[in-house]
Structure 1
Amino acid sequence: MAYNLLKGKRGIIFGALDSNSIAWKVAERAYEEGATFTLTNVPVALRMGETQKLAEKCNTEVIPADATNVEDLEKLIVRSMEVLGGKLDFILHSIGMSPNIRKGKHYSDLDYGFLDKTLDVSALSFHKVMQTAKKLDAINEWGSVLALSYVAAQRTFYGYNDMADAKSLLESIARSFGYIYGREKNVRVNTISQSPTPTTAGSGVKGFDRLLDFSERMSPLGNASADECADYCIVMFSDLTKKVTMQNLFNDGGFSSMGMSLQAMEQYNKGFQLSDDPKHKYD
């Protein structure tokens, strides 16, 4: 059901690769709610993905841009304002990748060149997007800028590797830039910490299927789906959340507040038998 929450609003959505992408779901919901927007991704992702199909569905334009390249971002934002007929009201940053994860590098044996790339693509690009938009005065008053994060920014998760560092930096950028953008332009900046979601990028994390199962058992409401994350993003783009800024907002079924759930404990007990030997009581 649509509520016209974004009627008359304009935006840019980064990262819609295919129908499994959270950004893809956000674009579909934004269109349903009356928004106009452009879609963007790096050229190689656009060649590999299905973004043009989404653009046709949402009656919009795809503008190739490398989010780590300021010149590309300037062209993207200027062109978007031309296409949309005015300043922006929302931006979604849904970008993340780790060459170290792709290459199977252990966190204690990182390739630092790969790490630089991880941080640039997954976090610094968020700063570059906002800095470029601010210099171009491209976002209307009470606009909303969002990035997608994960609870690994606060806790250690096996296999999440240097992406955890990137998400920590991403959330810090949201707070620091949120203060400046809010004070000077009344633009709000937030991150949404989403449940593990079977997207193309997320599925590349080692042991992802087990992480998905674990978080489902741990969360009182279960994992939040990509569609549910899209709903949250729409609310954050709308005027209903005009005074929410500099926050990391958990959309994870309660996982982030849990220590141990009954379901997780029962599964743990099934797979592990305590030894009668007192020396191994807590093994």
Structure 2
Amino acid sequence: MVLPLEGKKGLVVGIADKHSIAWGCARALHAAGAELAVTWLNDKARHYVEPLADQVRATIMSQLDVSQPGQMEHLFELITTHWGRLDFVLHSIAFAPAADLHDRVVNCSPEGFAKAMDVSCHSFIRMARLAQPLMKNGGSLITMSYVGADEVVSNYGMMGPVKAALEASVRYLASDLGPAGIRVNAVSPGPLATRAASGLNCFEEFLTDAARRSPLRRLANIDDVGDLCSFLASDASSVITGNTLYVDAGYHIVA
């Protein structure tokens, strides 16, 4: 059996625990034959992430807090030393200070907005810049968005504008990096029961309502997201770039 990602090497950023979107992606990428580098946020997260990294036989494992100067550069130095190349990056991280996230957008602080933009959006741009020299034969950059980038979603707050900026960044990065054969896409899952999403107000009720209203009468899960990301990392997606692709049981088409 020929695996679609056999021989490819990729970085997965954003695994926090077994419920993370990034974990569903890592499993799918590994099952498709990819060799992975996996990161954790801090020492507390390492306890949860390292056993998962072992399950997908990650050959590079490292801490990465994108808000800490030098950590991202150190990670890419490790990749350069161990692999000397990179075929794909999966960016699945986002953050907003709780006080800003739970208040109205009009009330968000300059500091909170800047922090959310740095972690959730600009870190993807920085990764793209560091990955480009390693993608000598082209590659794939993938990030995670949400329908709140296009529509007002109750309790999503300031993350709506931040995700909108991320989707715009995907388009501009696709234009910048296309001549080098590097594809850039965003994946937009529907509501998922992850630890990060649990920080939103009334999220359990929102999940129930989303499943009821989606055309397929269900929610996507992390494995559904992983399958799409595995395709985007493969050569089968060689002419797909600059897009936001929905994997949400059709939720985004319902008014």
TM-based fold match above 0.5: yes
Q: Deviations over 1:116-157 (max 9, x none)?
A: 1111111111111112223xx012423110001000000001
Once the two structures are superposed, the pairs formed by residues 79-98 of structure 1 within 5 Å of their partners are 79-83=78-82, 85-98=83-96
Matched residue type, 1:256: H
Aligned-partner Cα distance in 2 for 1:3–1:218: 39
Structure 1 215/51 Cα, relative in aligned 2: closer, same or farther at 3 Å? same
Q: CA RMSD in A?
A: 1.8
State the percentage of identical aligned residues.
29
Counterpart code for 1:170: L
User: What is the aligned counterpart of 2:157 among 158, 161, 167?
Assistant: 161
1:178–1:103 distance in 2 versus 1, CA, 3 Å:
closer
Q: Residue 156 of structure 2: SS of its match in structure 1?
A: coil
Counterpart code for 1:76: L
Task: Give the corresponding residue for 1:264.
Answer: none
Task: Give TM-score, length-normalised by structure 1.
Answer: 0.84
Q: Is the 8 A contact 2:101 2:158 kept in 1?
A: no
For 1:33 and 1:103, the matched residues in 2 are separated by 37
Q: Residue by residue, what CA displacement relative to the aligned partner does 1:249-278 show, whole Å, maximum 9, x if unpaired?
A: 11111111122xxxxxxxxxxxxxxxxxxx
Whether contact under 8 Å (1:174, 1:190) holds in the other structure is yes
1:223 aligns with 2:222: no
Following superposition, the deviation at residue 44 of structure 1 comes to 4.9
Looking at structure 2, the residues matched to 140 and 218 of structure 1 have their Cα atoms a distance apart, in angstroms, of 44
Alpha-carbon distance change, 102 to 109 in structure 1, aligned in 2, over 3 angstroms: closer
Match of 2:134 in 1: 138
AA in 1 matched with 2:15: A
In structure 2, the residue matched to 1:52 is 50
For the residues of structure 2 that align with 1:226 and 1:50, how far apart are their CA atoms? 17
Q: Which has the higher contact order (CA 8 A, sep 6+)?
A: 2
Structure 1 segments unaligned to the other structure (5+ residues): 260-283
The answer for the alignment partner of 1:240 in structure 2 is 236
Is the Cα–Cα contact under 8 Å of residues 20 and 194 in structure 2 kept in the other structure? Answer: yes
Deviation at 1:90, TM superposition (A): 0.6
Once the 2 structures are TM-superposed, how far is the Cα of residue 45 of structure 1 from its aligned partner? 5.5
1:67 equivalenced with 2:66 (yes/no): yes
Q: TM-score, normalised by structure 2?
A: 0.93
Structure having the higher Rg:
1
Asked if structure 2 preserves the Cα contact closer than 8 Å seen for 1:46 and 1:64, the reply is: no
Structure 1 residues 151 and 198: CA distance shift in structure 2, 3 A: same
SS of corresponding position for 2:194? coil
From 179, 183, 186, the equivalent of 1:188 is 183
Aligned counterparts of 1:173 and 1:232: Cα–Cα separation in 2: 20
After superposition, residues 1-283 of structure 1 pair within 5 angstroms as 4-44=3-43, 46-47=45-46, 50-60=48-58, 61-69=60-68, 71-83=70-82, 85-100=83-98, 104-134=102-132, 137-183=133-179, 185-221=180-216, 222-259=218-255
Give the conservation status (yes or no) of the 8 Å contact 1:99–1:114: yes
Distance 2:2 2:219 in 1: 25
Q: Distance in 1 between matches of 2:243 and 2:95?
A: 23
Give, in whole Å, the separation in 1 of the partners of 2:241 and 2:23: 24
Shift in CA distance, 11/110, structure 1 to aligned 2, threshold 3 Å: same
- How far the C-alpha of 1:103 sits from its partner, in A, is 6.9
CA shift digits 1:196-226 (9 cap, x unpaired): 1111101111111122112111211222111
Greater shift after overlay, 109-118 or 16-25?
A: 109-118
- Gap change, CA 1:21 and 1:3, over 3 Å in 2: farther
Distance in 1 between residues matched to 2:170 and 2:44, nearest whole Å = 25
Between stretches 242-251 and 220-229, larger displacement belongs to 220-229
Q: Please give the secondary structure, in 2, of the residue aligned with 1:63.
A: strand
Separation in 1 of the partners of 2:213 and 2:71? 42
